Amino acid sequence: MSYTTTIIFAGTSLLGACAGLVGCFAVLRRRALVGDALAHAALPGVCLAFLVLGYRSLPAMLLGAFVTGIAGIVCISTLRQFTRIKEDAAIGIVLSVFFGAGVVLLRVIMNSVSAGSKAGLETYIYGKTTSIALADVYLIGGAAVGCLAIIVLLYKEFQVVVFDSEFAGVQGWPAFLLDLLLMAMIAFAVVIGLPAVGVVMMAALLIIPAAAARFWTEQLWVMLAMSALMGAAMGAVGTTFSSRFEGLPAGPAIVLCGSVVFLISLLTAPRRGLLARLWSERKFRRRMARQRTLNVLYNVWERSHPEVLSFAMDDVLRRKSWTFDELHSALGALSREGCVSFQPEGRFAMTDHGLQCAAMAARGFRMWELFLTENAEASSGIADFDYRSLEERLPREMIAELEEKLKEEGRYPTIMRRDGFSHECN
């Protein structure tokens, strides 16, 4: 790797890490779009700084970006607070107006100033990593380390303010100031990222790593660490692509790399990932189908002679609006775990084990039904008709009460073995 590529590499990785870190709080605080507006609103600042000075100076342009970026944010909150315009509309207005002004200013500069001094200014729109110099890397690195230090020091304070700012306020934390500090860090990350990534793509560098990291963890500090790492990887790999292919701007390259990371997270993350969710949804449906079938089988058995364990499928179909095929596949699933066995002439038999399971399903269903009847106002979120969640979701006295009532009504499944709850019939 040449000296320049090393510098660029270091610069974009640090930038990605910094953006990933503060982006977590932006996303969790529902401020993701504010970061986008900030980036767009920074463009006129860059141009104004150039117009005032007449030559390119990175610190001056970053300062300009910071000033108009913050002005944009102030406009958004003013619009939201003092008019009836909602936040999304306010963001849309500010974002496009400031960006439009920036593009117009850029044109003015292009038309009026000599070629040499304005070079590279247009890269602020899409980003160009080759413009990163050693001094920039120090700046970006310093910002990343600064953000990291602030977040490590004020982790607890940020956590409580972002999660529940009112509670934090009652505890005496200066919620507004902490919020402002977060906002300033977001603004800072956006501004130092502008030359490399460009105003159009900068928001993605804030949002994508945080959103991707959220899929993998339920803990804030893990999310922060992952997001920083993912941001760094995005920056590094994106830069590599951008430098390999002539004319490929760095911003889009970095964002596309990020989107691959995001897609992988979205699909494959355990628990929160799409595939895991589909899988558990499928498992859930099967479990529910199994319990409904068992419940029906118990009802059928209850109505017949207790010794009889063999039934015609038609008997079941009369009690439940299933098609023959639906019943057949439901029974097929039960026969695989030894609850029923098929017999000739459209009949099937329940095994002892099957009867046990059916009784448990029926108990669960009836208990939940009774619970719902007695607590109709406030309990719909609790009852899920799963017999295994009864013990987990209801207090023991309540279960005993429900059992007692069912017994009084003579509807408590009687063949339940006292010893054998939930062990065999999963």
Partner 1 sequence: MMTQVETSTTAAVPVLDVHDVTVAYHRKPVIWDVDLTINTPQLVGIVGPNGAGKSTLIKAILGLVPMASGRVSVYGKPFRQQRRLVGYVPQRESVDWDFPVNVLDAVLMGTYGELGWLRRPGRKQKAWARECLDQVGIADLEARQIGQLSGGQQQRVFLARALAQKAEIYFMDEPMAGVDAATERVIFELLRQMRDDGKTVIVVHHDLRTIAGYFDEVVLLNMRLVASGPVAEVFTNDNLRKTYGGRLGILEDAGEAMRAQERSQ
Q: By CB under 8 A, which span of 193-201, 216-224, 247-255, 305-313 interacts with partner 1?
A: 216-224
Q: How many residues bind partner 1 (CB under 8 A)?
A: 37
Per-residue HEC secondary structure of 172-225 comes to CCCHHHHHHHHHHHHHHHHHHHHHHHCCCCHHHHHHHHHHHHHCCCCCHHHHHH
What end-to-end distance do the CA atoms of the chain give, in Å?
A: 58
| Smallest distance from partner 1 to CB 211, Å | 12
Binding mask 340-379 for partner 1 (x = CB under 8 A): ----------------------------------xx--xx
Nearer to partner 1, 157 or 337 (CB): 157
Structure tokens at 6: 């090393």
Distance CA 189, CA 195 (A): 12
Which of 260, 382, 400, 415 forms a contact with partner 1 (CB under 8 A)?
382
76 neighbors 34 (Cβ within 8 angstroms) = yes
| Smallest distance from partner 1 to CB 173, Å | 8
Which of 56, 97, 173, 388 forms a contact with partner 1 (CB under 8 A)?
173
Cα–Cα distance list, 135 to 56, 131, 249 (Å): 14, 11, 21
- Within 146-165, the residues that bind partner 1 by CB under 8 A are 153-157, 159-160, 162-164
Which of 220, 225, 289, 370 forms a contact with partner 1 (CB under 8 A)?
220
Is 223 one of the binding residues for partner 1 (CB under 8 A)? yes
Nearer to partner 1, 94 or 168 (CB): 168
| Smallest distance from partner 1 to CB 220, Å | 5
Q: By CB under 8 A, which span of 8-16, 85-93, 315-323, 393-401 interacts with partner 1?
A: 393-401
46 neighbors 202 (Cβ within 8 angstroms) = no
Which of 111, 114, 115, 166 forms a contact with partner 1 (CB under 8 A)?
166
Distance CA 304, CA 198 (A): 76
Which amino acid makes up residue 353? H
Q: Is the dihedral of CA 113, 115, 120, 124 positive or negative?
A: positive
Nearer to partner 1, 275 or 382 (CB): 382
Is 381 one of the binding residues for partner 1 (CB under 8 A)? yes
Is 5 one of the binding residues for partner 1 (CB under 8 A)? no
Is 394 one of the binding residues for partner 1 (CB under 8 A)? yes
Distance CA 358, CA 67 (A): 70
- Write out the E strands in 292-414: 310-312, 340-343, 347-350
Which of 4, 77, 130, 217 forms a contact with partner 1 (CB under 8 A)?
217
Give per-residue burial for 14-33: e unless 16+ CB within 10 Å, then b.
Answer: bbbbbbbbbbbbbbbbebbb
Q: Which residues bind partner 1 (CB under 8 A)?
A: 28, 30, 153-157, 159-160, 162-164, 166-173, 214, 217-220, 222-223, 374-375, 378-379, 381-382, 393-395, 398
